Amino acid sequence: MLEKHDELLILEPIKQYFTTYYENIKTGTYQDVSRWFILNDDTVIPQRWIQNKFKLYNAFNLWIKEYLLDLKFSDICLYKDHASVTVLENAEYSYKQNEEVKSKISDIEYRIMLKKIDDLWKIIYVDSDHEAYRLAYERQDNTDRAVLSDKKGYLTMKGNALNRVFDDLDDAIYELMLLSPKKDQYPESVSHSEKGSTTLGSTFSYHPVNGVHYAREYADYKRVSEDRRLFYFAPNGSDCANFVSQCVWAAYGGYVQGNIELTKKNIANKVRMVKTGNPSTSWYGTGVDGGGTPYWENVNQFYKYATMAKGVGPNGNGYGECIQSEFNFAEVTEGDVLQFWKESQNKWYHSTYVSSVGEMGQVERIYVCQHTINIIDRPLIDLLIWNTNEGKLRGIHFTDGAFSQ
């Protein structure tokens, strides 16, 4: 039986790791976490990721002001001098330079193994649902990925390959600092209430404030009570386009703030959606027990539909669609959709909804809400750092659209 004293000792290095991460980006002073780890291939990512995140936030002066960290532990198992733990990370934090924005992450799962050495527990293995782990592994050479660690305290080809991944990410920070546009690149003022290309049905204005309100309410889906849940949530994690469609639908008036029952009726009746009788040409989502059409749920199909000329439906104007270093961030406004393309997948793979834009064009003042992973008001630079060099970016700006109801 696991004694309480043993449990506290096992969990201590894990608590220290997460607390140190948040203290680093709050105080602006880096504290090393290596003492809580045994160096091997399976501990490279958590150590290098925390270093890269500090360097990134330091470069953009994006320090947090306050944070609330809540770690939930489960499946704590002890066998002789080894232990395993499942951790769910939950956190809320605000920013010194932008106090009105409050980021929130929930239930990011980590699977951690520890070993007792000289009466001290140290972390020997970490895997996670956090995208940093998936993206880091994707960037490894296939040959390097096939080499497994022998857990003896040094790095094999796999560990060295992961270190090179983060060396590249560190170098990419300088490239991100060059992304903010010059003054002569700033576009004319943009409006979400321009005459659109839709011609049939009644015309409805696009209100970004409604879309942002919805995005912040529902990005953290697992924290939404069951009676307030409105749409299907993809359990396999491929939910980004589904969520973005919901935000756009909300901005057109389908979501009625403060009236869940009327909102549910709007969903059932396909208000501010498009139902042609053929799912392949329709844009709609269903309630919590069903999914949506391809135009609603697929990253590429959503872009195609939003930007095409049509009689009814969301009226989007695409912009950018270029390598990240050439993208003009001054075009980005609240209520826009941003999509990401990466070379390793050779496709547009991720969509986000822009929830806040500070000084026009400054990448460190742009925040997004997203699913997969579910985050409220995520700094855009957290995504751009992984997209540098190989990645592309494109945006969609929405104006008045026509709907039958």
Q: Structure pTM? A: 0.90
Confidence of residue 180 (pLDDT cuts 50, 70, 90): low
Mean pLDDT over the full length of the chain:
89
Question: Among 158-162, 262-266, 267-271, which is the least confidently predicted range?
Answer: 158-162
pLDDT at 2 over 90: no
- Cβ-contact 260, 268 below 8 angstroms: no
pLDDT at 78 over 60: yes
- Cβ-contact 22, 58 below 8 angstroms: no
Residues 6+ apart with CB under 8 A from 201: 311, 312, 402, 403, 404, 405
pLDDT at position 188: 58
pLDDT at position 327: 92
Interior angle at CA 382, CA 380 and CA 385, nearest 5: 105
Residues 6+ apart with CB under 8 A from 103: 92, 93, 94, 95, 367, 375, 376, 377, 378, 379
pLDDT at position 195: 46
Residues 6+ apart with CB under 8 A from 277: none
Return the higher-pLDDT residue of 146 and 57. 57
Q: What are phi and psi of 64, to 5 degrees?
A: -85, 150
Mean pLDDT score, 377-383: 96
- Cβ-contact 315, 400 below 8 angstroms: yes
Question: Among 2-6, 116-120, 271-275, 392-396, which is the least confidently predicted range?
Answer: 2-6
Give 22's DSSP letter.
H
Q: Which residues face 357 on adjacent strands?
A: 366
Peptide bond into 373 cis (omega under 30): yes
Q: How far apart are CA 63 and CA 66, in angstroms?
A: 9
Count of alpha carbons within 13 angstroms of residue 368, beta-carbon side: 27
Q: How far apart are CA 69 and CA 104, in angstroms?
A: 10
Q: How far apart are CA 21 and CA 54, in angstroms?
A: 8
Q: How far apart are CA 89 and CA 108, in angstroms?
A: 5
Pair of tokens at residue 259: 């009236």
Mean pLDDT score, 313-338: 94
